[in-house]
Chain A
Amino acid sequence: MAKLTFSIGGIHPADSKLARDCRIETLPLPPKMYVSMFQHLGAMAKPVVAVGDTVKAGQIIAEPGGFISAYVHSPVSGKVTAIGPRKDLAGFNQMHVEIEVQGDEWAEGIDLSSDLVTEIPEDKQFILDRIKMNGVVGLGGATFPTHVKLNPPPGKTAECLILNGAECEPFLTSDYRILLERTDEIVVGAAIMQKVLGGCPCVIGIEENKPEAITAVGSSVSRLGYPGIRVETLKKRYPQGGEKQLIDAVMHRQVRSGGLPIDVGAVVQNVATSLAVYEAVQKNKPLVTNTLTVTGDVIDPARQHNYLFRIGMPLSYIAEYAGGVPEGTVKIVSGGPMMGKAIANLDAATVKGSSSILYLGQSTTRHAATPCISCGRCADACPMGLEPFLLKRLYAAGDVAALEQNAAQDCIECGCCQYSCPAYVPLLDNIRMAKAQVMGVIRARNAKK
């Protein structure tokens, strides 16, 4: 079968999936957990507990702060000891609920057994409510509330559900591990989302460097026998897992500038989100756990891990449990090396979207920037068809109108331009600012209307 991929741009970084053969281990509970109120896209969640309250694992501790927002649940049982600002991994203050762990008692109505429930509820609204009440958000990186994404605006119908198992970022293996170890649950999750979207076909896209996962998912799909689900092999190419790139690869359709995937009939969900949907709908279990990879180029193979963590565990606790920060580390990143964020504060708590602790060595430090030589490699590499060198110049000149004309707002911040630049120009750093400026102008204009 032909391998699918997107049509323009892209790069081929070394895949470095060093932790691919490490089974998922469950982390023991730390003495204290810090649950952020801002771990999804949209409005901040509002705490509904007070200091001194006792909470059970899976109990709601915060309500959505707006339409695009999500419920937050307590990951552990214990006592709320503080509610207030705490530094997140970038060092900014965010509202956190601090919980002192006491035992491990779960709230009622949550099925903690590992039995596979294959029968899918008939009522769509019931499914959507469960997804919403259990705080499920997209775990591919953007943490967009899933119940909003699965509920297309009137007049638009989903023609294809794409399950994103590309995991195109180097080093990360958490999606790969759940594809191997929680295969059936992910497939049931996909069938549930299919149901909500009105029975559209579902494509599970997995990159060619994960043949075991492709086989496992393929056999699970045929064993479980849900109609309209198929597995597609994708070429190994970054950013294959980008929403718009994946739609291009699978459906050969392009989302126009400023449009949403649903405009071309696509809904893209990450495989980890599918697992969370399964747990939320079939087990009534809130999103309080996720999988995270501890890896890097300076850490020896015996110390690479894939962990099932409770959301709210401090990163430093996980790092300590995995054997501490290895020697030679110059940078610790949360997320992949391409799009992840450097961790400025290791004491920060994990959030729903945490996918890795990545230790990188000297070889990954940036080179000093030299002047642009106008070679155009960035424009070749851009998967959105933008001209990064031009955008940087326009940003330096402060020409917001020209930035909008040149579609700075379409940048997906994948970092291909910076990766391919032979002059080491910090292109993305500048384009990100330009994008924010243009988005501000667009929002202001829309607000006026």
Chain B
Amino acid sequence: MTDTSVAAQVAAKWRKKRGSLIMALHELQDIKGYVPWDDAMEMAKDMNIPLARIYEVLTFYNFFKLEAPGKAVISVCTGTACYLKGNDKTLEEFKKQLGINEGESTPDKMFHLQCVRCVGCCGLAPVCVVNGKTYGRVTTGDVSNIIAEWRKKFEEEDKE
């Protein structure tokens, strides 16, 4: 069993408000990074909502993650400007090099790949954001460098 005390706290906060399941799930994911099965079970029990309904919501909205995402979350902007400037090709290159689709994480849990719509700096298009660090004017040639940079960073952290 994993620790579900966060889910219990979040559920306690929202249980009295009708129609608050989505807010509660948002809050849980903000804290945990995703919605684990055991937490969803805890939420179902505490909020008195059938687990099946919770997963209907979790799987309907693209936003919710059911698996722990990789440590580096790569957000490829596919908003209009970035898309027109060729970020679809960047996305394909990330998929190819990481061997995963958008919305998925690498088996070693190092990278998670996702698409976002506009990060608010269209002047730098096409843009990718990795764990808050912004990369502007990205080309397919930059992809391997970005991956290598973060892999190196994590490896150094592990050594320390």
A binds B: no
